[in-house]
Amino acid sequence: CLWCYTNNTCIDYPVRSILPPSSLCSLSNARWGVCWINFEALIIALAVVAGLVLVSITVCCCYCCYCRRRSRSRLEEEEEQLARKREERRLQSLQR
């Protein structure tokens, strides 16, 4: 049901279009389902939620990529240190 405040009528929702056409009822006067859900507020709220989800996914992906890169560099540094220590031990054993 699409409730229109301008003419106080309940119209069957036009399922062929996502938003109701302005010829039926202006968006600011259209209510969805129950009379207290304004279409404009619903669209704005959904856009904000979708934007927050996209931003959080992007931040998580960037953070994870940064952490992986950082942990890889730490592992490489540790491997290099171990290789140096092995080489030093080998040289010390050869000198004896």
pLDDT of residue 46: 92
Instruction: Specify the amino acid at residue 15.
Output: V
Q: What pLDDT does 56 receive?
A: 94
pLDDT of residue 77: 78
Residue-wise pLDDT tens digits, 68-78 = 666 666 777 78
Given this model, what pLDDT does residue 49 score? 97
84 and 53 share a domain? yes
Domains: count for the chain: 2
For residue 74, give Cα distances in angstroms to 4, 68, 84, 95: 63, 10, 15, 32
Where in the sequence is the domain holding 60, given as residue range(s)?
38-95
Q: Which residues of the chain have pLDDT under 50?
A: none
Q: Is residue 86 located within the same domain as residue 67? A: yes
Give 1-13 pLDDT, tens digit per residue. 777 877 887 878 7
Q: What is the pLDDT of residue 45?
A: 92
43 and 28, same structural domain? no
